[in-house]
């Protein structure tokens, strides 16, 4: 079965977010036919939407999987639910765990429930900086190196956490 390299964004701002993100890495590694190859440091960032919520803990991981994109999405949503994620339809609201497929090989996907590359990730420093950390030589789908994308991000309010893995 062919395997794809996939980058997943991980975020949490409810409960013990540091532990939740680390648990998510483990849970992702336990998905059938999937293994975690790299994980970024953890980063603290201000919320994107309503500011009356806790700061987020964010990270990115690189996995190798033989699951198709929608099969992987289903498994990631299962992990979110196991961590207490409630989908209330509130955009950018607080959440126990958010798992996003950022890049799935070189594929472009645009369906009702999945957009890859993840829409808006170029402007999100809490995605681009950890992605750059684990894949500094990555060339984005527009042909530009990730370093160029990161250079266009505002790093205001983003800080790397010092944690033991």
55 is catalytic: no
User: Given this model, what pLDDT does residue 129 score?
Assistant: 96
Q: Which tokens belong to 112?
A: 């009702």
Contact 49, 93 (CB under 8 A): yes
**Per the structure, how many domains does the chain have?**
1
Residue 160: active-site member: no
Q: Classify residue 165: in a domain, yes or no.
A: no
Token digits of residue 149: 């994308």
85 is catalytic: yes
From the list 95, 124, 156, 159, the catalytic residue is 95
Query: pLDDT, tens digit, for every residue of 11-68?
Result: 999 899 999 999 999 999 999 999 999 999 999 998 877 778 889 999 999 999 999 9
Q: Is position 95 annotated as part of the catalytic site?
A: yes
- Asked if residue 69 is part of any domain, the answer here is yes
Q: Which of 85, 110, 156, 159 is flagged as catalytic?
A: 85
Task: Give the DSSP letter string of 14-82.
Answer: SSSHHHHHHHHHHHHHTSTTEEEEEE---EEE--SS-SSSPPEEEEEEEEEE-S-HHHHHHHHHHHHHH
Distance, in Å, from the CA atom of 70 to the CA atom of 92, rounded to the nearest integer, reads: 22
CATH number of domain containing 90 = 3.30.70.560
The token pair at 98 is 């958010």
Q: Which residue range is the domain that position 150 belongs to?
A: 4-160
The answer as to whether 70 is a domain residue is yes
Candidate list 35, 55, 98, 156, residue with the active-site label = 98
* pTM of the model as a whole: 0.92
pLDDT of residue 86: 67
Tell me, what's the pLDDT at 51? 76
Q: Is residue 17 part of a domain?
A: yes
23: in domain = yes
Q: Which of 35, 87, 91, 100 is catalytic?
A: 100
């Amino acid at each position: 079965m062919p395997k794809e390299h996939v980058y997943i964004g991980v975020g949490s701002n409810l409960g013990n977010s540091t532990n939740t993100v680390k648990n998510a890495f483990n849970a992702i590694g336990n998905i059938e036919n999937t293994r975690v190859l790299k994980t970024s440091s953890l980063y603290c960032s201000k919320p994107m939407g309503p500011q009356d919520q806790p700061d987020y803990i964010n990270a990115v991981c690189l996995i190798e999987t033989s699951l198709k994109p929608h099969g992987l999405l289903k498994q990631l949503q299962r992990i979110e639910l196991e961590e207490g994620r409630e989908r209330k339809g509130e955009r950018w609201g607080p959440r126990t765990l958010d798992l996003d497929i950022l890049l799935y090989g070189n594929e472009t996907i645009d369906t009702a429930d999945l957009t890859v590359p993840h829409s808006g990730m170029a402007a999100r420093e809490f995605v681009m900086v950890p992605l750059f950390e684990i894949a500094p030589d990555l060339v984005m789908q527009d042909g530009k190196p990730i370093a160029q994308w990161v250079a266009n991000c505002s790093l205001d309010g983003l800080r790397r956490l010092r944690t033991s893995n």
